[in-house]
Amino acid sequence: MSTKPRRFFIRGHKLLFQQGDSGLRLYDGPDTGALYRRDLGDLEADCAGELIALSDQTPPPAGCVEISLRGAFAHLPELVWVQAGRAMQILDWHHQHRYCGRCGEKTVEQHEEFAMLCPSCGLRSYPRPTPAVIMAVTVGDQILLGRSRHFPEGMYSTLAGFVEPGETLENAVRREVFEETGIIVSGIRYFGSQPWPFPNSLMIGFFAEAGRNRVIHCNNRELEDACWFSLDNLPSLPGQMSIARRLIDAFVSVNRKK
């Protein structure tokens, strides 16, 4: 493991890159004028990360290119992109917890863990990922996909929604599918998870089986449309960076083998 941390420069809400020999790479210039820096730990990445936030009130360093976290997926290996997402979430958390949410006192950042401590009332505020379930509902070689209004034209994806207080993940899967499409599911099986730093979700993926009644009652407050798709007529799908696409690909792969 390298001892020098990988540095993530963030200005505004963009990551800084620079031109390398073979395309863009993370900006690695001087860190003068940094407003905030924080060690990000090792994670499962190949090397430790460091977040360096620059002011967006001054011009960006010469020669650098500013790219959104979504856009950065095309320029970084996946593990490094995940680490960049961690940097972005830690910076958001730091900005949003400068004052105590209970008594309003200025907080003090802790360095032995990610926590902002209120010196007056003792409240500790931690970065909190927000759990959301995402599920491939299937029956035989058919999969239930929906589209929300902000999707690119023609694109459909797996259903998803935030977990509510007091719910198990399985409850959340059943409730979300029923609320969005009127379909009752069972046979819920865990698939995998993915940090989704837009801004701070943790997507928890499942497969679920539809019951006998497959008539969709699409809830138009949540979705523009929802349909059953078979293997040979899949619509346009989300990109490879999302767990939604991995769920759909896993469904396709299992059914192709049959």
Q: Which residues of the shown chain bind Zn ion in the complex (CB under 5 A)?
A: 100, 102-103, 105, 118, 120-121, 123
Task: Decide whether 53 or 100 has the Cβ nearer to Zn ion.
Answer: 100
Task: Decide whether 98 or 189 has the Cβ nearer to Zn ion.
Answer: 98
For residue 113, list its beta bridge partners: none
CB 144 → Zn ion: shortest distance, Å?
Answer: 46
Contact 135, 203 (CB under 8 A): no
Q: Give every CB contact of residue 99 below 8 A, 6+ residues apart in sequence.
A: 105, 106, 107
Task: Decide whether 70 or 98 has the Cβ nearer to Zn ion.
Answer: 98
Strands (E), 55-184: 64-67, 108-110, 115-117, 124-125, 130-139, 142-147, 159-162
Q: What is the pairing mode between strands 23-26 and 225-230?
A: unpaired
CB 112 → Zn ion: shortest distance, Å?
Answer: 20
CB 226 → Zn ion: shortest distance, Å?
Answer: 45
Task: Decide whether 100 or 144 has the Cβ nearer to Zn ion.
Answer: 100
CB 110 → Zn ion: shortest distance, Å?
Answer: 14
d(CA 184, CA 187): 11
Contact 64, 56 (CB under 8 A): no
Task: Decide whether 120 or 240 has the Cβ nearer to Zn ion.
Answer: 120
- What amino acid occupies position 187? G
CB 125 → Zn ion: shortest distance, Å?
Answer: 9
